[in-house]
Chains A and B, each alone.
Chain A
Amino acid sequence: MKVNEVPQDITFYEGVKRACYALNEEGKYVVVPSTGWDAEDVVNSLAVDDLAVMLEETRNAVWAGLKSPLCYHMERRQMNPDILAKTAGIAVFRVKRHFRPEIFVKLNSSVLNRYAQALAVTVEELLTVPQSQGR
Protein backbone atom coordinates (compact mmCIF):
# COMPACT_ATOMS: atom_id res chain seq x y z
CA MET A 1 0.00 0.00 0.00
CA LYS A 2 1.34 3.43 -0.98
CA VAL A 3 0.73 6.58 1.06
CA ASN A 4 -1.72 7.92 -1.53
CA GLU A 5 -3.61 4.61 -1.47
CA VAL A 6 -4.43 4.82 2.24
CA PRO A 7 -8.23 4.91 2.33
CA GLN A 8 -9.73 8.24 3.36
CA ASP A 9 -13.27 7.30 2.34
CA ILE A 10 -15.62 8.13 5.11
CA THR A 11 -15.49 9.45 8.62
CA PHE A 12 -17.24 6.56 10.26
CA TYR A 13 -14.76 6.42 13.13
CA GLU A 14 -16.74 9.34 14.58
CA GLY A 15 -13.85 11.71 13.99
CA VAL A 16 -11.23 9.28 15.31
CA LYS A 17 -8.48 8.32 12.91
CA ARG A 18 -6.70 4.99 12.59
CA ALA A 19 -3.00 4.56 11.90
CA CYS A 20 -2.08 2.65 8.75
CA TYR A 21 1.30 1.52 7.52
CA ALA A 22 2.08 2.62 3.96
CA LEU A 23 5.08 3.18 1.67
CA ASN A 24 6.18 6.73 0.86
CA GLU A 25 7.82 7.81 -2.44
CA GLU A 26 11.24 6.54 -1.35
CA GLY A 27 9.79 3.10 -0.60
CA LYS A 28 10.07 3.54 3.17
CA TYR A 29 7.28 2.60 5.55
CA VAL A 30 5.55 5.46 7.37
CA VAL A 31 2.46 5.68 9.55
CA VAL A 32 -0.45 7.46 7.90
CA PRO A 33 -3.72 8.31 9.68
CA SER A 34 -6.77 7.03 7.86
CA THR A 35 -10.34 8.28 8.26
CA GLY A 36 -11.91 4.99 7.28
CA TRP A 37 -12.36 2.42 4.57
CA ASP A 38 -15.53 1.42 2.73
CA ALA A 39 -14.79 -2.30 2.96
CA GLU A 40 -14.29 -2.05 6.70
CA ASP A 41 -17.49 -0.05 7.05
CA VAL A 42 -19.48 -2.78 5.30
CA VAL A 43 -18.28 -5.62 7.51
CA ASN A 44 -18.47 -3.58 10.71
CA SER A 45 -22.02 -2.46 9.89
CA LEU A 46 -23.08 -6.06 9.38
CA ALA A 47 -21.93 -6.94 12.89
CA VAL A 48 -23.34 -3.78 14.51
CA ASP A 49 -26.69 -4.13 12.71
CA ASP A 50 -26.94 -7.79 13.70
CA LEU A 51 -26.55 -6.84 17.34
CA ALA A 52 -29.11 -4.04 17.00
CA VAL A 53 -31.66 -6.40 15.41
CA MET A 54 -31.15 -8.97 18.17
CA LEU A 55 -31.51 -6.31 20.83
CA GLU A 56 -34.73 -5.04 19.26
CA GLU A 57 -36.15 -8.57 19.14
CA THR A 58 -35.36 -9.02 22.81
CA ARG A 59 -36.95 -5.66 23.66
CA ASN A 60 -40.15 -6.71 21.94
CA ALA A 61 -40.05 -10.08 23.66
CA VAL A 62 -39.82 -8.33 27.03
CA TRP A 63 -42.90 -6.24 26.26
CA ALA A 64 -44.68 -9.37 25.11
CA GLY A 65 -43.88 -10.94 28.47
CA LEU A 66 -41.68 -13.70 27.07
CA LYS A 67 -38.35 -12.59 28.53
CA SER A 68 -37.24 -10.61 31.55
CA PRO A 69 -35.66 -7.12 31.31
CA LEU A 70 -32.44 -8.70 32.59
CA CYS A 71 -32.00 -10.38 29.22
CA TYR A 72 -32.36 -7.04 27.42
CA HIS A 73 -29.84 -5.27 29.64
CA MET A 74 -27.38 -8.11 29.27
CA GLU A 75 -27.56 -7.91 25.48
CA ARG A 76 -27.29 -4.15 25.61
CA ARG A 77 -23.94 -4.60 27.33
CA GLN A 78 -23.04 -7.18 24.66
CA MET A 79 -22.58 -9.82 27.30
CA ASN A 80 -23.63 -13.45 27.30
CA PRO A 81 -24.91 -15.44 30.29
CA ASP A 82 -21.38 -16.67 31.05
CA ILE A 83 -19.87 -13.21 31.31
CA LEU A 84 -22.84 -11.83 33.24
CA ALA A 85 -22.76 -14.74 35.67
CA LYS A 86 -19.08 -14.23 36.40
CA THR A 87 -19.41 -10.46 36.72
CA ALA A 88 -22.39 -10.61 39.04
CA GLY A 89 -21.14 -13.63 40.97
CA ILE A 90 -24.29 -15.64 40.29
CA ALA A 91 -24.29 -19.16 38.83
CA VAL A 92 -24.98 -19.41 35.08
CA PHE A 93 -28.03 -21.60 35.52
CA ARG A 94 -29.56 -19.06 37.88
CA VAL A 95 -28.84 -16.22 35.45
CA LYS A 96 -30.55 -18.15 32.68
CA ARG A 97 -33.46 -18.90 34.97
CA HIS A 98 -33.79 -15.19 35.75
CA PHE A 99 -34.46 -14.56 32.07
CA ARG A 100 -37.97 -15.90 32.74
CA PRO A 101 -40.18 -12.92 33.63
CA GLU A 102 -42.23 -14.72 36.27
CA ILE A 103 -39.06 -15.61 38.16
CA PHE A 104 -37.39 -12.26 37.62
CA VAL A 105 -40.21 -10.29 39.30
CA LYS A 106 -39.78 -12.31 42.48
CA LEU A 107 -36.06 -11.55 42.89
CA ASN A 108 -35.02 -9.85 46.11
CA SER A 109 -33.13 -6.60 46.20
CA SER A 110 -29.69 -8.04 46.95
CA VAL A 111 -29.72 -10.13 43.78
CA LEU A 112 -31.05 -7.19 41.77
CA ASN A 113 -28.33 -4.98 43.20
CA ARG A 114 -25.70 -7.41 42.08
CA TYR A 115 -27.09 -7.45 38.55
CA ALA A 116 -27.36 -3.66 38.51
CA GLN A 117 -23.76 -3.35 39.67
CA ALA A 118 -22.54 -5.82 37.05
CA LEU A 119 -24.40 -4.14 34.20
CA ALA A 120 -23.63 -0.58 35.33
CA VAL A 121 -27.30 0.44 35.45
CA THR A 122 -29.53 1.52 38.34
CA VAL A 123 -32.00 -0.94 39.83
CA GLU A 124 -34.93 1.08 38.43
CA GLU A 125 -33.44 0.86 34.95
CA LEU A 126 -32.90 -2.85 35.39
CA LEU A 127 -36.58 -3.47 36.09
CA THR A 128 -37.83 -1.92 32.85
CA VAL A 129 -36.91 -1.67 29.19
CA PRO A 130 -37.29 1.42 27.01
CA GLN A 131 -40.63 2.01 25.26
CA SER A 132 -39.08 2.70 21.91
CA GLN A 133 -36.09 1.48 19.96
CA GLY A 134 -32.69 3.01 20.59
CA ARG A 135 -29.60 2.42 22.65
Chain B
Amino acid sequence: MTTELTTGGKPFVHRHYAHCESGVTSALFRDKGVEISESLAFGIGSGIFFGHFPFIKWVGMPISTYRSRPGSLFAKVAKRLGGRFITKKYRKIGWSDRHVQTGMDDLRRVLKEGHIVGLTTNIYWLSYFPNRFRFQFNGHNIVVLRETENGFRISDPVLEHPVDCLTEDLERARFARGPLEPKGFMYYAETVPQNPDLRTACIEALKDSCNMMLRIPFPFVGIRGMRYLAKVTIKSPDTFGFQEACRRLATVVRMQEEVGTGGAGFRFMYAAFLQEAADLFGSSELAELSREMTAIGDIWREFAVVSARIVKKRGQAEETFAKAGGLMMICAGREEQLFRNLDRIARKLKA
Protein backbone atom coordinates (compact mmCIF):
# COMPACT_ATOMS: atom_id res chain seq x y z
CA MET B 1 0.00 0.00 0.00
CA THR B 2 1.37 3.39 -0.98
CA THR B 3 -0.26 6.77 -0.56
CA GLU B 4 -0.11 9.19 -3.46
CA LEU B 5 -1.53 12.64 -4.03
CA THR B 6 -3.97 13.26 -6.86
CA THR B 7 -4.20 16.56 -8.78
CA GLY B 8 -6.80 17.83 -6.36
CA GLY B 9 -4.38 17.27 -3.48
CA LYS B 10 -6.49 14.42 -2.12
CA PRO B 11 -4.55 11.40 -0.87
CA PHE B 12 -5.09 8.20 -2.84
CA VAL B 13 -4.09 4.87 -1.36
CA HIS B 14 -2.67 2.57 -4.00
CA ARG B 15 -3.53 -1.06 -3.39
CA HIS B 16 -2.10 -4.11 -5.05
CA TYR B 17 -4.85 -5.93 -6.91
CA ALA B 18 -4.90 -9.15 -8.87
CA HIS B 19 -6.94 -8.02 -11.86
CA CYS B 20 -6.88 -4.76 -13.74
CA GLU B 21 -10.52 -4.03 -14.44
CA SER B 22 -11.96 -4.96 -11.05
CA GLY B 23 -9.01 -3.16 -9.44
CA VAL B 24 -9.71 0.05 -11.33
CA THR B 25 -13.42 -0.16 -10.53
CA SER B 26 -12.64 -0.63 -6.86
CA ALA B 27 -10.16 2.28 -6.94
CA LEU B 28 -12.71 4.64 -8.54
CA PHE B 29 -15.26 3.82 -5.84
CA ARG B 30 -12.70 4.13 -3.04
CA ASP B 31 -11.61 7.54 -4.28
CA LYS B 32 -15.20 8.73 -3.79
CA GLY B 33 -15.30 7.36 -0.27
CA VAL B 34 -17.10 4.04 -0.84
CA GLU B 35 -15.09 1.02 0.33
CA ILE B 36 -15.56 -1.76 -2.20
CA SER B 37 -13.01 -4.53 -2.28
CA GLU B 38 -11.70 -5.90 -5.55
CA SER B 39 -13.41 -9.25 -5.14
CA LEU B 40 -16.74 -7.56 -4.41
CA ALA B 41 -16.36 -5.44 -7.55
CA PHE B 42 -15.47 -8.56 -9.51
CA GLY B 43 -18.52 -10.42 -8.22
CA ILE B 44 -20.98 -7.55 -8.65
CA GLY B 45 -19.69 -7.00 -12.18
CA SER B 46 -20.33 -10.72 -12.91
CA GLY B 47 -16.72 -11.09 -13.97
CA ILE B 48 -16.55 -14.87 -13.81
CA PHE B 49 -16.98 -16.68 -17.07
CA PHE B 50 -15.44 -19.20 -19.38
CA GLY B 51 -15.07 -19.16 -23.12
CA HIS B 52 -12.99 -20.81 -25.77
CA PHE B 53 -13.24 -19.40 -29.28
CA PRO B 54 -11.42 -21.52 -31.85
CA PHE B 55 -12.29 -19.12 -34.67
CA ILE B 56 -10.90 -15.96 -33.05
CA LYS B 57 -7.12 -15.89 -33.12
CA TRP B 58 -4.76 -13.92 -30.89
CA VAL B 59 -1.05 -14.15 -31.82
CA GLY B 60 -2.07 -17.11 -33.95
CA MET B 61 -3.72 -19.00 -31.10
CA PRO B 62 -7.42 -19.50 -30.41
CA ILE B 63 -8.64 -17.34 -27.55
CA SER B 64 -9.62 -18.84 -24.22
CA THR B 65 -10.96 -16.59 -21.54
CA TYR B 66 -11.81 -17.03 -17.90
CA ARG B 67 -13.59 -13.73 -17.46
CA SER B 68 -16.35 -11.75 -19.12
CA ARG B 69 -15.81 -9.38 -22.02
CA PRO B 70 -13.38 -6.55 -21.21
CA GLY B 71 -15.32 -3.43 -20.32
CA SER B 72 -18.49 -5.18 -19.23
CA LEU B 73 -17.35 -5.60 -15.64
CA PHE B 74 -17.03 -1.87 -15.03
CA ALA B 75 -20.30 -1.12 -16.82
CA LYS B 76 -22.19 -3.70 -14.77
CA VAL B 77 -20.81 -2.52 -11.42
CA ALA B 78 -21.64 1.08 -12.33
CA LYS B 79 -25.17 0.11 -13.29
CA ARG B 80 -25.86 -2.11 -10.28
CA LEU B 81 -24.46 0.20 -7.62
CA GLY B 82 -25.74 3.41 -9.19
CA GLY B 83 -23.91 6.70 -9.36
CA ARG B 84 -22.98 8.93 -12.22
CA PHE B 85 -20.10 7.69 -14.32
CA ILE B 86 -18.83 9.54 -17.35
CA THR B 87 -17.31 7.52 -20.17
CA LYS B 88 -15.71 8.82 -23.32
CA LYS B 89 -14.42 7.33 -26.54
CA TYR B 90 -12.63 9.13 -29.33
CA ARG B 91 -13.27 8.28 -32.94
CA LYS B 92 -10.71 8.86 -35.64
CA ILE B 93 -12.17 11.20 -38.23
CA GLY B 94 -10.74 11.06 -41.72
CA TRP B 95 -6.95 11.00 -41.97
CA SER B 96 -6.18 13.41 -39.17
CA ASP B 97 -5.01 12.36 -35.72
CA ARG B 98 -6.86 15.16 -34.01
CA HIS B 99 -8.80 12.72 -31.84
CA VAL B 100 -5.54 11.83 -30.03
CA GLN B 101 -4.97 15.43 -29.04
CA THR B 102 -8.60 15.84 -27.95
CA GLY B 103 -8.36 12.68 -25.88
CA MET B 104 -5.21 13.77 -24.08
CA ASP B 105 -6.57 17.31 -23.49
CA ASP B 106 -9.77 15.84 -22.04
CA LEU B 107 -7.70 13.65 -19.72
CA ARG B 108 -5.73 16.65 -18.45
CA ARG B 109 -8.91 18.68 -17.96
CA VAL B 110 -10.65 15.96 -15.95
CA LEU B 111 -7.52 15.43 -13.82
CA LYS B 112 -7.44 19.16 -13.06
CA GLU B 113 -11.05 18.94 -11.92
CA GLY B 114 -9.78 16.63 -9.19
CA HIS B 115 -11.01 13.27 -10.44
CA ILE B 116 -8.94 10.15 -10.87
CA VAL B 117 -9.47 8.64 -14.29
CA GLY B 118 -9.67 5.06 -15.51
CA LEU B 119 -8.22 4.33 -18.94
CA THR B 120 -8.26 1.34 -21.25
CA THR B 121 -4.87 0.81 -22.83
CA ASN B 122 -2.71 -1.48 -24.91
CA ILE B 123 -0.33 -3.35 -22.64
CA TYR B 124 2.52 -3.49 -25.17
CA TRP B 125 3.12 0.24 -25.17
CA LEU B 126 3.18 0.57 -21.38
CA SER B 127 6.95 0.42 -21.04
CA TYR B 128 6.98 0.10 -17.25
CA PHE B 129 5.90 -3.53 -17.55
CA PRO B 130 8.46 -6.33 -17.56
CA ASN B 131 9.31 -7.16 -21.16
CA ARG B 132 7.99 -10.68 -21.11
CA PHE B 133 4.47 -9.53 -20.27
CA ARG B 134 4.26 -7.00 -23.04
CA PHE B 135 1.98 -8.36 -25.73
CA GLN B 136 -0.32 -6.61 -28.16
CA PHE B 137 -3.39 -6.80 -25.96
CA ASN B 138 -5.88 -3.94 -25.97
CA GLY B 139 -7.73 -4.51 -22.73
CA HIS B 140 -5.55 -3.36 -19.89
CA ASN B 141 -7.06 -0.88 -17.43
CA ILE B 142 -5.13 1.64 -15.39
CA VAL B 143 -5.87 4.63 -13.15
CA VAL B 144 -4.27 8.00 -13.82
CA LEU B 145 -3.65 10.04 -10.67
CA ARG B 146 -2.03 13.27 -11.87
CA GLU B 147 0.12 14.81 -14.54
CA THR B 148 3.85 14.99 -13.89
CA GLU B 149 6.59 16.90 -15.71
CA ASN B 150 6.84 14.76 -18.83
CA GLY B 151 4.19 12.17 -18.26
CA PHE B 152 1.55 10.91 -15.91
CA ARG B 153 1.51 9.27 -12.50
CA ILE B 154 -0.21 5.93 -12.93
CA SER B 155 -1.68 3.60 -10.36
CA ASP B 156 -1.61 0.27 -12.18
CA PRO B 157 -3.75 -2.11 -10.11
CA VAL B 158 -1.64 -5.17 -10.88
CA LEU B 159 1.62 -3.58 -9.76
CA GLU B 160 2.70 -3.13 -6.15
CA HIS B 161 3.50 0.57 -6.39
CA PRO B 162 2.40 3.54 -8.51
CA VAL B 163 4.61 4.22 -11.53
CA ASP B 164 5.44 7.00 -13.99
CA CYS B 165 4.50 6.77 -17.63
CA LEU B 166 5.70 9.00 -20.45
CA THR B 167 3.05 11.01 -22.30
CA GLU B 168 4.15 9.50 -25.60
CA ASP B 169 3.77 5.94 -24.31
CA LEU B 170 0.36 6.68 -22.86
CA GLU B 171 -0.80 8.25 -26.12
CA ARG B 172 0.23 5.16 -28.05
CA ALA B 173 -1.29 2.84 -25.48
CA ARG B 174 -4.62 4.65 -25.45
CA PHE B 175 -4.97 4.96 -29.20
CA ALA B 176 -3.47 1.63 -30.26
CA ARG B 177 -5.15 -0.06 -33.20
CA GLY B 178 -6.07 -3.68 -33.75
CA PRO B 179 -8.62 -6.06 -32.25
CA LEU B 180 -10.70 -4.59 -29.38
CA GLU B 181 -9.40 -1.09 -29.99
CA PRO B 182 -9.51 1.00 -26.81
CA LYS B 183 -10.19 4.21 -28.82
CA GLY B 184 -8.89 6.25 -25.90
CA PHE B 185 -11.66 4.93 -23.66
CA MET B 186 -11.72 6.96 -20.48
CA TYR B 187 -14.05 6.75 -17.50
CA TYR B 188 -14.46 8.45 -14.16
CA ALA B 189 -17.00 8.79 -11.40
CA GLU B 190 -18.79 12.06 -10.97
CA THR B 191 -20.90 11.08 -7.98
CA VAL B 192 -21.26 7.77 -6.21
CA PRO B 193 -24.01 6.88 -3.71
CA GLN B 194 -22.46 6.79 -0.26
CA ASN B 195 -24.46 3.76 0.87
CA PRO B 196 -24.95 1.62 -2.22
CA ASP B 197 -27.45 -1.21 -1.99
CA LEU B 198 -24.95 -4.07 -2.01
CA ARG B 199 -27.50 -6.80 -1.32
CA THR B 200 -29.73 -6.10 -4.32
CA ALA B 201 -26.66 -5.70 -6.51
CA CYS B 202 -25.23 -9.02 -5.29
CA ILE B 203 -28.44 -10.95 -5.97
CA GLU B 204 -28.68 -9.54 -9.47
CA ALA B 205 -25.00 -10.29 -10.10
CA LEU B 206 -25.24 -13.88 -8.82
CA LYS B 207 -28.21 -14.62 -11.08
CA ASP B 208 -26.46 -13.01 -14.02
CA SER B 209 -23.31 -15.07 -13.47
CA CYS B 210 -25.33 -18.29 -13.27
CA ASN B 211 -27.07 -17.43 -16.52
CA MET B 212 -23.79 -16.71 -18.24
CA MET B 213 -22.23 -19.96 -17.09
CA LEU B 214 -25.22 -22.26 -17.59
CA ARG B 215 -27.74 -20.88 -20.04
CA ILE B 216 -26.04 -19.31 -23.03
CA PRO B 217 -27.08 -21.58 -25.91
CA PHE B 218 -23.72 -21.53 -27.60
CA PRO B 219 -21.21 -24.39 -27.42
CA PHE B 220 -18.10 -22.30 -26.81
CA VAL B 221 -19.03 -20.45 -23.63
CA GLY B 222 -19.83 -21.27 -20.01
CA ILE B 223 -19.78 -24.87 -18.81
CA ARG B 224 -20.36 -26.07 -22.39
CA GLY B 225 -17.23 -24.22 -23.47
CA MET B 226 -15.23 -25.92 -20.74
CA ARG B 227 -16.38 -29.37 -21.85
CA TYR B 228 -15.69 -28.45 -25.45
CA LEU B 229 -12.15 -27.30 -24.67
CA ALA B 230 -11.53 -30.41 -22.54
CA LYS B 231 -12.50 -32.66 -25.47
CA VAL B 232 -10.35 -30.64 -27.88
CA THR B 233 -7.41 -30.84 -25.46
CA ILE B 234 -7.64 -34.61 -25.11
CA LYS B 235 -7.59 -35.07 -28.87
CA SER B 236 -5.16 -32.23 -29.61
CA PRO B 237 -1.88 -34.21 -30.04
CA ASP B 238 -3.59 -36.23 -32.80
CA THR B 239 -5.25 -33.28 -34.52
CA PHE B 240 -2.48 -30.68 -34.39
CA GLY B 241 0.68 -32.66 -33.73
CA PHE B 242 2.57 -32.54 -30.44
CA GLN B 243 4.33 -29.17 -30.84
CA GLU B 244 1.21 -27.26 -31.80
CA ALA B 245 -0.85 -29.03 -29.13
CA CYS B 246 1.70 -27.89 -26.52
CA ARG B 247 1.44 -24.31 -27.72
CA ARG B 248 -2.32 -24.37 -27.51
CA LEU B 249 -2.30 -25.89 -24.06
CA ALA B 250 0.26 -23.30 -22.93
CA THR B 251 -1.97 -20.49 -24.19
CA VAL B 252 -4.88 -21.80 -22.13
CA VAL B 253 -2.72 -21.95 -19.01
CA ARG B 254 -1.33 -18.48 -19.65
CA MET B 255 -4.85 -17.08 -19.83
CA GLN B 256 -5.61 -18.86 -16.58
CA GLU B 257 -2.60 -17.84 -14.53
CA GLU B 258 -0.65 -15.05 -16.10
CA VAL B 259 -2.92 -12.27 -17.20
CA GLY B 260 -3.65 -10.96 -13.69
CA THR B 261 -6.23 -13.42 -12.47
CA GLY B 262 -5.41 -13.80 -8.78
CA GLY B 263 -4.81 -17.49 -9.39
CA ALA B 264 -6.77 -20.31 -11.03
CA GLY B 265 -8.41 -18.15 -13.67
CA PHE B 266 -10.36 -15.87 -11.30
CA ARG B 267 -11.82 -18.85 -9.40
CA PHE B 268 -10.11 -17.83 -6.15
CA MET B 269 -11.23 -14.25 -6.59
CA TYR B 270 -14.81 -15.40 -7.09
CA ALA B 271 -14.53 -17.61 -4.00
CA ALA B 272 -13.43 -14.50 -2.10
CA PHE B 273 -16.53 -12.72 -3.43
CA LEU B 274 -18.80 -15.58 -2.36
CA GLN B 275 -17.24 -15.36 1.10
CA GLU B 276 -18.00 -11.64 1.29
CA ALA B 277 -21.52 -12.26 0.02
CA ALA B 278 -21.97 -14.95 2.68
CA ASP B 279 -21.07 -12.41 5.38
CA LEU B 280 -23.36 -9.84 3.78
CA PHE B 281 -26.40 -12.13 3.81
CA GLY B 282 -25.38 -14.22 6.84
CA SER B 283 -25.86 -17.26 4.65
CA SER B 284 -24.02 -20.47 5.51
CA GLU B 285 -24.96 -21.94 2.12
CA LEU B 286 -22.97 -19.24 0.31
CA ALA B 287 -20.01 -19.87 2.63
CA GLU B 288 -20.20 -23.55 1.70
CA LEU B 289 -20.18 -22.63 -2.01
CA SER B 290 -17.16 -20.42 -1.44
CA ARG B 291 -15.28 -23.42 -0.04
CA GLU B 292 -16.39 -25.50 -3.03
CA MET B 293 -15.16 -22.78 -5.40
CA THR B 294 -11.77 -22.84 -3.65
CA ALA B 295 -11.62 -26.60 -4.15
CA ILE B 296 -12.43 -26.17 -7.85
CA GLY B 297 -9.74 -23.51 -8.08
CA ASP B 298 -7.24 -25.98 -6.65
CA ILE B 299 -8.10 -28.43 -9.45
CA TRP B 300 -7.53 -25.67 -12.01
CA ARG B 301 -4.12 -25.10 -10.43
CA GLU B 302 -3.42 -28.82 -10.72
CA PHE B 303 -4.42 -28.63 -14.38
CA ALA B 304 -1.84 -25.85 -14.80
CA VAL B 305 0.86 -27.94 -13.12
CA VAL B 306 0.10 -31.00 -15.27
CA SER B 307 0.08 -28.85 -18.44
CA ALA B 308 3.38 -27.21 -17.51
CA ARG B 309 4.94 -30.66 -17.06
CA ILE B 310 3.70 -31.79 -20.47
CA VAL B 311 5.15 -28.67 -22.07
CA LYS B 312 8.45 -28.89 -20.19
CA LYS B 313 9.15 -32.59 -20.61
CA ARG B 314 8.08 -32.65 -24.27
CA GLY B 315 6.10 -35.85 -23.84
CA GLN B 316 8.68 -37.69 -21.76
CA ALA B 317 6.73 -37.32 -18.52
CA GLU B 318 3.93 -39.63 -17.44
CA GLU B 319 1.49 -36.71 -17.69
CA THR B 320 -0.65 -36.80 -20.79
CA PHE B 321 -3.06 -34.55 -22.62
CA ALA B 322 -5.79 -36.98 -21.61
CA LYS B 323 -5.05 -36.27 -17.95
CA ALA B 324 -5.03 -32.48 -18.48
CA GLY B 325 -8.33 -32.65 -20.38
CA GLY B 326 -9.73 -34.98 -17.74
CA LEU B 327 -8.98 -32.46 -14.99
CA MET B 328 -10.74 -29.79 -16.99
CA MET B 329 -13.72 -32.10 -17.40
CA ILE B 330 -13.84 -32.54 -13.60
CA CYS B 331 -13.77 -28.76 -13.18
CA ALA B 332 -16.64 -28.45 -15.66
CA GLY B 333 -18.74 -31.01 -13.79
CA ARG B 334 -18.15 -29.45 -10.39
CA GLU B 335 -18.65 -25.90 -11.59
CA GLU B 336 -21.93 -26.87 -13.23
CA GLN B 337 -23.14 -28.29 -9.93
CA LEU B 338 -21.90 -25.20 -8.09
CA PHE B 339 -23.64 -22.73 -10.37
CA ARG B 340 -26.88 -24.73 -10.26
CA ASN B 341 -26.78 -24.58 -6.44
CA LEU B 342 -25.86 -20.92 -6.55
CA ASP B 343 -28.77 -20.20 -8.86
CA ARG B 344 -31.16 -21.92 -6.45
CA ILE B 345 -29.76 -20.01 -3.45
CA ALA B 346 -29.66 -16.65 -5.24
CA ARG B 347 -33.36 -16.94 -6.05
CA LYS B 348 -34.19 -17.43 -2.37
CA LEU B 349 -32.11 -14.48 -1.10
CA LYS B 350 -34.00 -11.41 0.06
CA ALA B 351 -32.58 -7.99 -0.64
Contacts and interface: CB of A to CB of B under 8 A. Distances in A.
Interface of A: 1, 6, 12-14, 16-23, 28-29, 31, 33, 37-40, 42-44, 46-48, 50, 77-79, 82-83, 86-87, 89, 120, 135
Given A1-B301, A29-B268, A77-B124, A20 B160 contact: no
Contact of A40 (B131, B136, B247, B258): B258
B298 A31 contact: no
Interface stretch (B77-85, B112-120, B172-180): B172-180
Interface in B113-153: 124-125, 129-136
Given A1-B263, A39-B307, A86-B178, A21 B250 contact: no
B176 A87 contact: yes
A23 B294 contact: yes
B257 A21 contact: no
Interface in B239-263: 246-247, 250-251, 253-254, 257-258, 260, 262-263
A46 B250 contact: yes
Contact of A44 (B16, B177, B258, B269): B258
A6 B297 CA distance: 13
B264 A43 contact: no
B177 A86 contact: yes
Contacts, number: 120
Given A16-B159, A50-B247, A78-B59, A40 B18 contact: no
B172 A78 contact: no
B73 interface: no
9 contacts: A1-B294, A18-B260, A19-B17, A31-B16, A43-B307, A46-B250, A78-B136, A79-B136, A79-B178
Contacts of A37: 257
Contacts of A38: 308
Nearest to A118: B177
A78 B105 CA distance: 29
Contacts of A86: 177-178
B158 interface: yes
Contacts of A87: 176-178
Contacts of B159: 16
Contacts of B109: none
B262 A19 contact: yes
Contacts of A135: 131
B271 A83 contact: no
Nearest to B253: A43
Nearest to B268: A21
A79 B179 CA distance: 11
Given A28-B275, A43-B250, A89-B95, A22 B130 contact: no
B64 interface: no
Contact of A16 (B18, B38, B130, B311): B130
B156 to A, nearest CB: 10
Contacts of A23: 294
Nearest to B305: A39
B140 to A, nearest CB: 14
B107 interface: no
Contacts of B272: 21, 29
B304 interface: yes
Given A1-B301, A29-B39, A37-B257, A22 B268 contact: yes
